[in-house]
Amino acid sequence: MRPEIFLEASMLQSLNNTRALEIQRFVVSGGVSTLSHWLTMALLIIVGMVPALATATGALVGAIVNYLAQKTFTFKSRKQHRITIPRYIAACAILWIANLVVFILLNESLSIAVAPAQFLTTAIVAILSYWLYRVMVFSDGDLVAGPDSNE
């Protein structure tokens, strides 16, 4: 076997291992941010806040926790916050719309019951969010010109 083939295979295996770890960290970060949302919501409801406002506040807390976890733990991005925060907000808007469209398609157009429709929607949106975060938000590539250091 030629040595360069071994090196290419070794590099590919290393890339696959790195990607698998990144996906695991993505799932952990998402879980922690979801838990943050739910805990915030529960605490606010316990102290008397209206549930709709409590979940909206919880979602905001979850989004902040998610941003920080994805940036520092999952993708280990060195890009400045002034670059990644606007991208993250744009990704969140895209993901919110995707969630709505996919859910309506599954639930209303395909007549899938609410719980399974939301489960499938969540899986699809999670895959999309990983891709958006990896490619658009925390990418090492220069989608927006700027230095790669933290603020």
Q: Tell me: the pLDDT tens digits for 87-130?
A: 999 999 999 999 999 999 999 999 999 999 999 999 999 999 99
8-state DSSP, 79? S
| Residues 151 and 94 placed together within one structural domain of the fold | yes
| Residues 151 and 103 placed together within one structural domain of the fold | yes
Please give the residue that has the higher pLDDT: either 4 or 106.
106
C-beta separation of 77 from 84 below 8 A? yes
Domain count, the chain: 2
Whether residue 141 has pLDDT greater than 70: no
Whether residue 18 has pLDDT greater than 80: yes
Whether residue 1 has pLDDT greater than 60: no
Whether residue 145 has pLDDT greater than 70: no
Q: The domain containing residue 34 runs over which residues?
A: 1-76
pLDDT of residue 16: 75
Domain boundary among 76, 99, 119: 76
Vertex 145, ends 143 and 147: CA angle to 5°? 115
| Residues 66 and 36 placed together within one structural domain of the fold | yes
Vertex 31, ends 61 and 25: CA angle to 5°? 115
Q: How far is CA 129 from CA 23, 65, 70, 118, in A?
A: 11, 15, 11, 16
Confidence tier at 15 by pLDDT (50, 70, 90): low
Q: With left for phi above 0 and alpha for psi between -120 and 50, is residue 80 left, alpha or beta? A: beta
Whether residue 149 has pLDDT greater than 50: no
